[in-house]
A and B are shown apart, each in its own frame.
Chain A
Amino acid sequence: MKHPAYHLRTNKAVDRLSWISQVRDSLINERKAAFYSLGGPFLEDLKLAHVAFPKLRLVSLESNTQTYKRQKFHNFTSQLALINSTIDNYLIHHYEPSDQDFFWLDFTDLSLPRLNSFRSLVTKVPHCSLIRLTLRAEPDSTLKHVEKHLSDEQSSNLAAEINEKFEKDYGAVLSHDTKKTPLCSRIDFARTVQMMVRRVSSEALANANTEFMHIGTSRYDDGSQMLSVTGMVIDRDGSQAVMNHLKTKGILIERDVWSDPVEIKVPVLSILERHWLDKHLPQRDRESLGKMLLRKLKYQIDEGEKHTEDALRQYAKYYREYPNFAKVNF
C-alpha cells in the first residue's frame, strides 16, 4: 500500500488533467451525471473534477479498507460518496446508472481480472458515458536484467518461457493483428495492450445496442509505462449524431481505426523555466516548435539537441496540463 509522491509524477498529472478536459468536452448535464474514480488515498482526480464541475455527483471506489479510511480523512465535499468496495462488486451489487457516467478505472497493473472489470463496465454504462482504462504496459524486463549471465541457449529458453506464459495468460484477449510478445519495444507493447482493450470492448458489446468508440490512448512513464485508453459508449443508432456533436468540441471519435498511443513525456522544468517558455506559447507552427523553444531557452535540458527539442515539443503540447508543485515554507 505504498503511494508515490504526486509531485514526482508529472506525466501522471498531465494524463489526469487531460481526462478532466475530456470529461469537460463531453459532459452533457452536470446535474444528471456522475463521476466514478478509483481515487487513491488523496482523491486527486476527484478534487480536480469537483473544482471543474461543482454540481457533478462524485463516487470513489476503494477496496483497501485502510486506504478507504484515509480517504474518509481527506473527504472534501458532501458531493462525494466514498465506497469501500471493489469495482466489480460495486458494478454488480450497487451500480445504478445516471444519465451519463464517467469512469476512470485507474489500475496500476495489467491482468485479466482488470480487463474483465472493464468488460463488465462497458456493458453497463448508459449512452454517452466516457470510460478511461489505465493499465500497466511495461514490456517484460526479466531477460534484459539477467541476459549477461546466461548462455545464448539459456536466454532463448527464458525468452520462450516468458512468451509462452504471456500467451497463456492473455491468449483469450490478444488481438491477432498485433500479436506482440512481452519482450518487444515499449511502443509495440503499448499497442498490444491497446489492442487487447479493443478486443475486450468489441467482444463485450458484440450483441449490444451500444458500442465503445475510441477517443484516444496515451502512454507515459510513471515508474513503469502506463497506458490510458479512453472511449465513449454510444448507442449504435445515435452514434453519428453524437460523433458530430463531439467533433464540434474537438473530440474526434474513431470507429474503425484506433490511432496509435500518444506518448506523454513532459520534461522536468523549474517554475522559472516554465514562465519563460509560456511567454512563447501557444504556437501554430508545430513543426519548428521544439527548435524555437530551444532557441529561446538557449541551453539543452536533455541529452543532445534532438532530445531537447522533443522534450520541449512535449512541453508545448501539454503546458496547460503541466502541474505546479511548489514548496511552501512556514
Chain B
Amino acid sequence: MLTRDIALEDAILDLLDNCVDGVQRSLTKKQRQGETPYKGFKAEITFSASRFVIADNCGGIPWSEHDRAFRMGNPSANRAAMIDGALLVGTYGIGMKRAIFKMGRSAVISTRTNDDAYDVTIPTGWTDEEDDWELAVTDSANRLKHSGTSITIEDLTATTSSRFRSSDFLDALLEKIETHYSVILTKGFSVTVNNRVAKPKRIAVKFAELSAKSTSTQAAIRPYIFRSGNEDDVEVFVAVGLREPIPDAETTLDEQEGATFATDFAGWTVICNDRVVLYCNRDELTGWGTANIPRYHTQFIAISGFVEFKGNAAKLPTTTTKRGLEFSSVLYQQVLNRMRDGTRMFIDYTNWWKQNEAHSKQQVQPLPSKTMNELKEMADSATIKFNPTRTGLAGEIYKPNLPKPISEAVDLRVAFYRPKRVVMRLAEELLRDFEDISEKNIPRSLGEHLFDEAHSKIGKKVGNK
C-alpha cells in the first residue's frame, strides 16, 4: 500500500473527492451544468487524537460499485472515469483505501443509497493477514438518516495521532480544502472540519464591462481567454488577467521584504474536474521562467490566471495522487503555450505601465472582478469576440486590446537615497501634514513636494512645460 506516497492532508482530500464523486453520480447532466450543482451536499470531518470521521450526504456507494470500491486497485478505471458525463476523479481506485491505511489500522465504512444500506468493516490486524483478504460486509447497523457515506477510522498510526493533536493541523487542512475545493465550495458544496466551515478562496480577474461604447475589441483591461472544443473528451478553458492594479515600486519592495502577502494570490491556478490541482503557482510548472516568460517576480503580483480541464478523468493532466499536475501530459503542454501567451500579454502591460502605475491604477482599480464561472458565462454569451486558432490546440482565443501609454505622457520615477535623519528633519520642516503621513510614505511625499516646488520655480522662468 502506497501510504508513504501521500501527505496526510492529501489522504483526507482523497476521501473528500469520493464525496464529490458521489454528488456527481447522483446529478443529472443538466443539474451538473447549473451554477450551484453541489448545493445541499455536505461533508463533515471530525478528528481527534484517537479517531477520524468523515460523513457525507452525497448519495452513498451503490451495492453494484462495492466490489470496485473496496478492491485493492480499480480494474475498470476508464469506465468509472466517465459515467454519463459525471466529472469524477476517482480513476485510480486507490484513494479511499490508501487514505484509510495512511491514517489508521481499522475502519468502518457505513453507506446508504436509495436502495441499499451496508457496512464494511476493516478489522485491526487485517493488513497483517497473509491469506484472508476478505472484508466483512454486513447490513448496516449504523443506519444513516440519509443517503451518504460515513467512514470512521480508528487505531490511528502514531504519526497521524500526533498530527491530529497539533493545533496547526486544523488550519493546514482547512487551508488546503479552501484552495483545492475553492471551485466546488463556490458551487455550493459545504465542508466542515471540527465544526469550522471551509470558505472558498476566490480567484477573479478584472474585466472592463462590455457595452456599445466599449466593445471587446476596444482598448480596455480584460483577460486573455482561450477555450477549446471538446478535444479528446476534455474541454479546456484558460483565462489570465489582472486581479488588482500593478504594484508601484514601494509595493514591489515591500513584497520582496515579505511585508504583505499579495504575492500569495498571484500566479496560475489549475483546475481539473472542479478540483484545484495547482493553486496560484508561480514556477516552471505554469510557464514562469520558461520560453519567453521571465521568472516570477513581485513586479508581477497583479497577474493571475486559471486553467480548467473538464471531462474524462483518465485524460486529465493529473498525477495518480489526483492532487498534482502531470506536467509532461501532451494536452497540458499544448495548453501551456496558451498560458504563456496570456501571461506574456500582462507582463508586457506591467512593463509598459511600470513607470506610470498611478495611471494604470485608475484604469484597473474601479473595474469589477470576474470569477472563472462568470467569465465562462460571458464567453458563452457571444459578447466577447473570439477568433478561431489556427495552430496548436484547437479552439478560440480572445486577445484583449490592452491600453498602452502614449510615450510622451509617461511618468519617470525619480529615486535616490539620502540619510534617514536628514530626510525626516527636512520632511518635518517642509511637509505641512507631516504628523498625518505614515513613516513609510514620508520619503515619497517629501520627494514630490521638493520636486513640485522646484518645478514651479523654474516654471515661472521657462513656462510650465
Query: Interface size of B by Cβ–Cβ distance < 8 Å?
Result: 17
**Pairwise interchain contact B292-A88, C-beta atoms closer than 8 A:** yes
Set of chain B residues within 8 Å of A94, measured between Cβ atoms: 399
**Pairwise interchain contact A123-B348, C-beta atoms closer than 8 A:** no
User: Nearest-CB distance from A263 to chain B (Å)?
Assistant: 32
**Pairwise interchain contact B292-A116, C-beta atoms closer than 8 A:** yes
**Least CB separation from A96: chain B residue:** B387
**Pairwise interchain contact A97-B348, C-beta atoms closer than 8 A:** no
- Across the interface, B334 reaches (CB within 8 A) one of A92, A93, A117, A208, namely A208
A125 within 8 A of B: yes
Question: Which residues in chain B, 363-420, are within 8 Å of chain A measured between CB atoms?
Answer: 387, 390-392, 399, 401-402
Against B, the Cβ 8 Å flags (1 = close, 0 = not) of A267-298 are: 00000000000000000000000000000000
B291 within 8 A of A: yes
A187 within 8 A of B: no
Set of chain A residues within 8 Å of B113, measured between Cβ atoms: none
**Pairwise interchain contact B402-A93, C-beta atoms closer than 8 A:** yes
User: Nearest-CB distance from B23 to chain A (Å)?
Assistant: 33
**Pairwise interchain contact B348-A93, C-beta atoms closer than 8 A:** yes
**Pairwise interchain contact B291-A92, C-beta atoms closer than 8 A:** no
Most A-side CB within 10 Å, residue of B391, B399, B402 = B391
**Least CB separation from A97: chain B residue:** B390
B187 within 8 A of A: no
Stretch at the interface among B97-105, B166-174, B259-267, B337-345: B337-345
**Pairwise interchain contact B333-A89, C-beta atoms closer than 8 A:** no
Set of chain A residues within 8 Å of B212, measured between Cβ atoms: none
User: Nearest-CB distance from A97 to chain B (Å)?
Assistant: 4
Interface residues on A, range: 20 to 34
B136 within 8 A of A: no
Set of chain B residues within 8 Å of A119, measured between Cβ atoms: 291-292
A126 within 8 A of B: yes
Set of chain A residues within 8 Å of B348, measured between Cβ atoms: 89, 92-93
**Least CB separation from A203: chain B residue:** B291
**Pairwise interchain contact B291-A116, C-beta atoms closer than 8 A:** yes
User: Nearest-CB distance from B423 to chain A (Å)?
Assistant: 38
Set of chain B residues within 8 Å of A127, measured between Cβ atoms: 391
- Across the interface, A126 reaches (CB within 8 A) one of B387, B390, B399, B402, namely B390
User: Nearest-CB distance from A228 to chain B (Å)?
Assistant: 22
**Pairwise interchain contact A117-B292, C-beta atoms closer than 8 A:** yes
Question: Which residues in chain A, 157-189, are within 8 Å of chain B measured between CB atoms?
Answer: none
| CA A96 to CA B401, docked complex, whole Å | 13
A124 within 8 A of B: yes
User: Nearest-CB distance from B327 to chain A (Å)?
Assistant: 11
**Least CB separation from A210: chain B residue:** B391
**Pairwise interchain contact B391-A97, C-beta atoms closer than 8 A:** yes
**Least CB separation from B343: chain A residue:** A92
A239 within 8 A of B: no
Set of chain A residues within 8 Å of B454, measured between Cβ atoms: none
Against B, the Cβ 8 Å flags (1 = close, 0 = not) of A98-126 are: 00000000000000010011011001111
Set of chain B residues within 8 Å of A113, measured between Cβ atoms: 292
- Across the interface, B344 reaches (CB within 8 A) one of A88, A206, A208, namely A88
B330 within 8 A of A: yes
A141 within 8 A of B: no
User: Nearest-CB distance from A201 to chain B (Å)?
Assistant: 12
**Pairwise interchain contact A126-B291, C-beta atoms closer than 8 A:** no
- Across the interface, A92 reaches (CB within 8 A) one of B333, B345, B390, namely B345
**Least CB separation from B394: chain A residue:** A209
Set of chain B residues within 8 Å of A96, measured between Cβ atoms: 387
Against A, the Cβ 8 Å flags (1 = close, 0 = not) of B328-357 are: 001001100100010011001000000000
User: Nearest-CB distance from A241 to chain B (Å)?
Assistant: 18
User: Nearest-CB distance from A267 to chain B (Å)?
Assistant: 41
**Least CB separation from B399: chain A residue:** A93
| CA A207 to CA B331, docked complex, whole Å | 8
User: Nearest-CB distance from B124 to chain A (Å)?
Assistant: 48
**Pairwise interchain contact B341-A92, C-beta atoms closer than 8 A:** yes
**Least CB separation from A208: chain B residue:** B392
| CA A89 to CA B402, docked complex, whole Å | 12
- Across the interface, A207 reaches (CB within 8 A) one of B333, B341, B345, B390, namely B333
User: Nearest-CB distance from A24 to chain B (Å)?
Assistant: 23
| CA A126 to CA B333, docked complex, whole Å | 18
User: Nearest-CB distance from B409 to chain A (Å)?
Assistant: 15
Known pairs A92-B341, A119-B292, A120-B292; list 19 more (Cβ under 8 Å): A88-B292, A92-B344, A92-B348, A93-B345, A93-B348, A93-B402, A94-B399, A96-B387, A97-B390, A97-B391, A113-B292, A116-B292, A123-B337, A123-B391, A125-B391, A127-B391, A204-B291, A208-B391, A210-B392
28 residue pairs of the A-B complex, CB under 8 angstroms, read A88-B292, A89-B348, A92-B341, A92-B344, A92-B345, A92-B348, A93-B401, A94-B399, A96-B387, A97-B390, A97-B391, A116-B291, A120-B292, A123-B392, A124-B392, A126-B390, A126-B391, A127-B391, A204-B291, A207-B330, A207-B334, A208-B334, A208-B337, A208-B391, A208-B392, A209-B392, A210-B392, A233-B391
Which residue numbers of A lie inside 8 Å of B, CB to CB? 88-89, 92-94, 96-97, 113, 116-117, 119-120, 123-127, 204, 206-210, 233
Closest 6 CB pairs of A and B: A207-B333, A97-B390, A126-B390, A207-B330, A116-B292, A92-B344
